[in-house]
Amino acid sequence: MASEYVLRIPLDRHVITTQRSLAAVLEDIRRVLHDSAPRSALQGHLVAAGHQVRLIIDRPEATDELVRCLPDAGAYCPATVLVQAAGDGACLAYDSVASAISPYQDEEALAVAELFDAEVLSLLRRVAEPAPGESGQ
């Protein structure tokens, strides 16, 4: 017999806008994630979807630890970042894994998710910043 329940999950969505062009942001993301990274580093790939690009991002070591602590965490990690053109630049949107798993009240999983979120947000903030001498476009 199957059962079903609904868990309402409040999410913290981080939205980062930049005057850098979408192409420049995507190129920097590719540079950072280009080589096969060890399991202890962020990995990812870009998936084009119409006028948006989704960055599927993971750190396999963190994902393994999250699902060991909290099997449902596999629904949130690897994580997705939406990257799209916005006005004169680009917009990056990321839903925090820690906020998604907070209703489960698993402190060990939450600590891993917070570290993962910090790595992802650091990457997004870095690619949103213009390089020295670079104009937004």
Q: How many domains does the chain contain in total?
A: 1
- Residues 6+ positions from 135 with CB-CB distance below 8 Å: 19
The answer to whether position 119 is within a domain reads: yes
The answer to whether position 40 is within a domain reads: yes
The answer to whether position 60 is within a domain reads: yes
The answer to whether position 41 is within a domain reads: yes
CA–CA gap between residue 127 and residue 65 (Å, rounded): 27
Residue 55 tokens read as 């960055």
pLDDT in tens, 1-42: 999 988 888 899 999 999 999 999 999 999 888 755 666 688
The answer to whether position 4 is within a domain reads: no
CATH number at residue 100: 3.30.310.70
pLDDT in tens, 33-44: 875 566 668 888
Range of the domain at 46: 13-128
